Amino acid sequence: MKKYLLIGASAFVLGAGSMAYVSQQASAAAPSRAKTYQMLGLFGDVLDTVERQYVTDVDDTKLIQAAIDGMLTSLDPHSGYLDPSNFDDMRDQTRGEYGGLGIEVTSEDGVVKVISPMDDTPAARAGVKAGDYITAVNGDSVLGLTVNEAVKQMRGKAGETVTLTIAREKSDPFDVKLVREVIKPKSATAKMEGEFGVLRISTFNEKTTEEAEAAFAGLKAKNPKMKGLILDLRNNPGGLLDQAVAVSDLFLEGGEIVSQRGRDARDVERYNARAGDMTGGMPIVVVVNNGSASAAEIVAGALQDRKRAEVVGLTTFGKGSVQTVIPLRGGMDGALKLTTARYYTPSGRSIQRTGIEPDLEVASTREEAQNIANRAFQFSEASFRNALNADEGKARRGAHEPAEAPPESFDVKKDFQLARAADVLRNGSVAATPKLPKPTAKLASVVGAKSPVAAVKPPQANQD
C-alpha cells in the first residue's frame, strides 16, 4: 500500500507524527507554453536583480527554496516544500519517535498558530492549548516567519529549555517555559470508565495499529466483563492513511472503509476491511471534536457510515484531502508535499471543509457551547482562505446552539463528552438516550469575535 500524508491543519509539525512519504518520480515536464517560459524568465530576472541590488548578500538556495514553497502553499494550506533537513525530520516523525516539544503548528496571517499539543509531551504538560498563537521563541519574535523558520527556532537538543511567548483569546500575552525531550509518545492507550473501556488514539503513526490492538487486549484481559468501548479521537490531528484504514479494520468485518479520488474521475482507490472484529461486536461510541482531523475523520466516518458506531462530540475539523510526499532526487533535494486527492467515506461523503457531524452534538464546556453559538474563535479547515473546496459544494454548518453542554451541576473535574458517550452505550443508541436541556448559549447577531491575531500582526513599515 502506498503511504499518504493525512494531516489535520498544519503546514508543519513540531513533534507530531502526522506525515507520510512515497518514493515517486515527478510527472512529465510541464506544458511547453510561451507564457510559462516567459514567467520563468521573469523569475530569473527577479532573482538576478535581488542578487545584485539587495542591501546585503543573499543565499540563492534559500531564495529558490522559499519561492518553491510559496508556489506550493498558494495552492492550498497543506501543500509545501520540505528541504532535505525537514524531509529527514518528517520521516523520523512518522516512525513515532522524535525530538521536540510535542506541538503541532501552522501559520495564519503571518502568525504561528497551535493546532494541538500532543498527549503527554512538554507542550501538553505546560498547558499549551489549541488555538494559541506563538509570537516569540526565547524572546525573539517569530511574527512574519514561515512555519518552517519558526519551527527551527523552537528546535534544539533534548534537555534544553525553550521559552514560548503565547497570545491567547481573552488573555494578556504570557511566557511558557518548556524543556525539549526525545518524544516517544504512545499513540494508543486504554483505561476503564465505569463499565466501559476507553481507547484513546492521539495520532496515527507507524505504531498506532499495533499499539491500539495491544491496549485493547490488555484492557479486555483485565476487565472481561467490559460492556462497550469508547473510541476517543479528540484533538487527533491525523497521520498515516494506512494506519487509519488498519485501525478502522480492527472494528469491521468487511466492506469499504474509505476511498480516494484524484483529478481524473477514473482515478479512484478504495480501501476495504477484512473479516475479524477484535472486539467481537462490542458496542462502540466514537468521541470527536473540531481538533479531530484527517485520518481521525476517516475512522469516525467509516464507523459511522457502516453503522458500527455512533459519534458523540463536535463536528470534526474537515480536512478531507490527501497529500503525497514526493522525494526529489531521492530526497537529496528534499521533497514536495502535494495535495493529490480527496477522500470519501463509505457512503460517498467528501468531508473536505464540512467535517463529520456527530450523531449527538455535545460541547465539553458551557463556554465552548457559547463559542459554537457565536462562532467566536472557531478553527477548522474552512477557516483557511485557500482551503480546497468541498467536492460536493457543501458548506460547513454555521453558528448554532449545540445540542448539549454540561449542566451547572456537573462536576467540572469530569469529562462531560466522555460521560455522554457512556450514556449512549448504556442506553443502546443515541435515539434511546434521554436528552439534556439545550444550553442557554445565545446566537450572536454579528459573527466574528475579535481574534488575538489582530493584536499580534507584524507592524507595517514606516516610510520617511
Domain ranges of the chain: 101-183, 188-320+344-427
Q: Name the residue with cell 466492506.
A: 255
Q: What is the per-residue burial (b if ≥16 Cβ within 10 Å, else e) of 70-82?
A: eebbeebbbbbbb
Side-chain-facing half-sphere of 137: CA atoms under 13 Å: 18
User: Nearest-CA neighbor of 313 among 426, 420, 216?
Assistant: 420
Cα–Cα–Cα angle for 31, 35, 41, nearest 5°? 105
H helix runs in 166-270, sequence order: 208-222, 241-249
Asked if 201 contacts 188 with a C-beta cutoff of 8 angstroms, the reply is yes
Specify the CATH class of 101-183 in words: mainly beta
Number of helices (H) and strands (E) in the chain: give both, helices first.
11, 22
Task: State residue 4's pLDDT score.
Answer: 54
Task: State residue 399's pLDDT score.
Answer: 84
With 0-12 / 13-18 / 19 or more C-beta atoms within 10 angstroms meaning exposed / middle / buried, residue 109 is middle
Task: State residue 98's pLDDT score.
Answer: 61
Query: Which residues are part of the catalytic machinery?
Result: 294, 305, 319
Cβ neighbours for 235, distance < 8 A, ≥ 6 positions apart: 116, 130, 202, 289, 291, 292
C-alpha span between 6 and 240 (Å, rounded): 6
Intervals of the chain under pLDDT 70: 1-32, 92-99, 185, 376-378, 440-464
Please provide residue 70's backbone torsions phi and psi, each rounded to the nearest 5 degrees: -65, -40
User: Nearest-CA neighbor of 164 among 198, 116, 132, 118?
Assistant: 132
C-alpha span between 320 and 307 (Å, rounded): 21
CA distances from 437 to 349, 404, 406, 424, 440 (A): 31, 7, 10, 16, 9
Q: Cell triple for residue 307?
A: 453503522
Task: State residue 458's pLDDT score.
Answer: 33
User: Nearest-CA neighbor of 417 among 283, 243, 291, 281?
Assistant: 291
User: Nearest-CA neighbor of 148 among 327, 334, 335, 13?
Assistant: 13
Q: Give pLDDT tens digits for 178-201.
A: 999 887 768 999 999 999 999 999
Q: Cell triple for residue 449?
A: 469575535
C-alpha span between 291 and 297 (Å, rounded): 10
C-alpha span between 292 and 313 (Å, rounded): 10
C-alpha span between 447 and 399 (Å, rounded): 8
C-alpha span between 146 and 176 (Å, rounded): 21
User: Nearest-CA neighbor of 173 among 455, 462, 464?
Assistant: 455
Q: Give pLDDT tens digits for 313-361.
A: 999 999 999 899 999 999 999 999 999 999 999 999 999 999 999 999 9
Asked if 5 contacts 20 with a C-beta cutoff of 8 angstroms, the reply is yes
Task: State residue 333's pLDDT score.
Answer: 93
DSSP 98: E
Question: Does the predicted TM-score (pTM) go above 0.85?
Answer: no
**CATH number for the domain running over 188-320+344-427:** 3.90.226.10
Task: State residue 442's pLDDT score.
Answer: 61
